[in-house]
Amino acid sequence: MATNTTPIANPAPLGLLGFGMTTLLLNLHNAGIMPLSIVIVAMGFALGGSAQIIAGLMEFKKNNLFGATAFTAYGFFWWSLIIIWINPFTAVAAADDLSMGFYLMAWGIFTLAMFVGTLKHNRASQVVFLTLTLLFFLLAVADFSSSASIKQIAGWVGIVCGAAAIYNALAQIINNEFGSPLLPL
Residue (of 34, 13, 49, 35) closest to 173 by Cα position: 13
Q: Model confidence at 7, in pLDDT bands (50, 70, 90)?
A: confident
The region that residue 54 occupies, defined by phi over 0 for left and psi between -120 and 50 for alpha, beta otherwise, is alpha
Distance, CA of 134 to CA of 18 (rounded, Å): 20
The residue extents of the domains of the chain are 12-178
Mean per-residue pLDDT over the chain, rounded? 96
Whether the predicted pLDDT of 4 surpasses 60: no
| Across 97-102, average pLDDT | 98
Cβ contacts of 9 within 8 Å, gap of 6 or more = 58
Whether the predicted pLDDT of 3 surpasses 80: no
What is the pLDDT at residue 109? 98
| Across 40-60, average pLDDT | 97
Residue 90 or 163, more confident: 163
Q: What is the pLDDT of residues 138-183, one digit of tens each?
A: 999 999 999 999 999 999 999 999 999 999 999 999 999 999 999 9
Residue 2 or 58, more confident: 58
| Across 90-118, average pLDDT | 97
Q: How many percent of the chain have pLDDT more than 70?
A: 97
- pTM for this prediction: 0.94
